[in-house]
Amino acid sequence: MVGNVKQHAMQDESALTMYLPYLQAPSPEFFSFMTFLVRTSNDPANLTSTVRESIKNLDNEVPISSVATLASEPRFNAVVVSLFGIQALLLATIGIHGILSYWVTLRTHEIGIRTAIGATQTDILKLVVGRVCFSWELA
């Protein structure tokens, strides 16, 4: 059992992890691949050739299929969350536009009368935004 292992960006660091020897795994079919993790304070891209050579020195028959760094996962999560945020902002904007359009449609005659009496565009804008933003009634 080991502590301070973080498999992915959203995992709690206090979760414990248990490692089993490959040959003692409960079902070898389930573990058809192995993952080798290396922690470094340097650039991980510069370390890949050293790690490959070290593995080949230990066992020349071990295949190394792919090498990847874990640094890209938080960036991916940030992009996904940003896209959802942009989508929420777009939906909120469409909703506010719909409410404003509906209210102005209902009050077209009132706005026309206020304009005829001498209300400026600023007055009409204050009326529309104030009524829509600060009241629960639309009709």
Q: Among residues 53, 70, 87, which one ends one of the domains?
A: 70
Closest CA to 80 of 6, 9, 7: 9
Based on the domain organization, do 10 and 57 belong to the same domain?
Answer: yes
pLDDT digits (tens, 9 = 90+) for 80-105: 999 999 999 999 999 988 888 888 89
Whether residue 139 lies inside any domain: the answer is no
Residue located via tokens 């991980």? 44
Dump the DSSP string for 98-118.
HHHHHHHHHTHHHHHHHHHHT
- 70-94 b/e (C-beta count within 10 Å ≥ 16 → b): eeeeeeeeeeeeeeeeeeeeeeeee
Stated pTM of the model:
0.43
Distance, CA of 68 to CA of 77 (rounded, Å): 17
Confidence at 76, pLDDT banded by 50, 70, 90: confident
Q: Among residues 18, 49, 70, which one ends one of the domains?
A: 70
Highest mean pLDDT pick, 18-27, 56-65, 86-95, 123-132: 86-95
